[in-house]
Amino acid sequence: MPGIVGAMTDTSTTPSVTAVLAPVAGAPVVAAPVAAAPVAGLGPVRRGAQLVLGLLAFTVSMAMLVHAGQGSMPWDVLHQGLVRTTGWSFGLVVALTSVLVLTAWVPLRQRPGIGTVANIVIISLAIEPSLSALETLWPQPGTIGGVLLALGGIVLNGVATAAYVGVRLGPGPRDGLMTGLVARTGWSVRAIKTGIEVGVVALGWVLGGTVGWATVAFALGVGVVVQAAARWHWLVPDGLTARPASTVRPSVRPVAAAPSSATVPSSGGEARLRRRAREIARALDSFGEHGRTL
């Protein structure tokens, strides 16, 4: 942590995070942001607040895993390696890698949303204060403290991911890269996600990033937490993704002949109705026979 925190405090020779993020707000490198579709159970104010709070919680979970020293999230292994190699601040590295990944959306024909821009801006600006706060509150967590921080970070990350993804205002740059590659190649999400994360972990480790048991635990466990948190109706009332239009069934029920009674007939009532229908049919047939003789 000293190397990372030290790099965070010395930004005199590097551009600021806000300078890097300035062009991102307009997202000029890709098509115009996608208009946010409504989400059942979430109004505009609630969606905006949940997006911001979810991204802030996501940032704190990143800082918890980094400060624990037990192994960082896959992309943060790369961020740590770049911080150690360049001496730039963690927030600046996150901002630069986010913008670089966002440019990869162009050939993949991905379109950003409000949440995409918010992901870059909030995480890049909040990661350094989060790391500094943990360094001040818990300077030396030790082994047991590190394990607790790492496990807590994984759980918090899963809940935060469900919170900000559930508002459906656009994926983060890294998630958009994954979904874009899946759409363009036809490969499975598992194959694409594993390939990307193995690549960034390997590069980050070569550059000096921290790889440990928590890195593996995050890769295996965060999806389980996201899935569990997505079942909390108060947090994600309409699911993490929109339902395809082809799967939505009409609510109109087929109209069938029914008795005048408002209650649904029992099996015995249905049998009586069938007998009555047969009697009416025979009567009509009989009437038809007499009519033809007239």
pTM of the model: 0.73
Type and span of the H or E element at 180: helix 173-185
Residues 162 and 58: beta-carbon distance below 8 Å: no
Tens digit of each residue's pLDDT, the chain (294 residues): 444 444 444 544 456 665 556 554 444 334 445 556 778 788 999 999 999 999 999 999 999 999 999 999 999 999 999 999 999 999 999 999 999 999 999 999 899 999 999 999 999 999 999 999 999 999 999 999 999 999 999 999 999 999 999 999 999 999 999 989 999 999 988 899 999 999 999 999 999 999 999 999 999 999 999 999 999 999 998 887 665 554 444 445 555 554 444 444 455 667 777 776 666 666 555 444 444 434
The token pair at 258 is 């029914």
3-state secondary structure of 39: strand
CA distance 155 to 166: 17
Integer CA distances (angstroms), 129 to 33, 62, 132, 149, in order: 29, 12, 5, 17
Residues 56 and 126: beta-carbon distance below 8 Å: yes
Delimit the domains of the chain by residue range.
2-242, 257-294
Which among 189, 240, 242 is positioned nearest to 35, based on CA atoms?
Answer: 242
The distance from CA 233 to its chain's CA centroid, rounded to whole angstroms, is: 15
Which among 125, 108, 161 is positioned nearest to 24, based on CA atoms?
Answer: 125
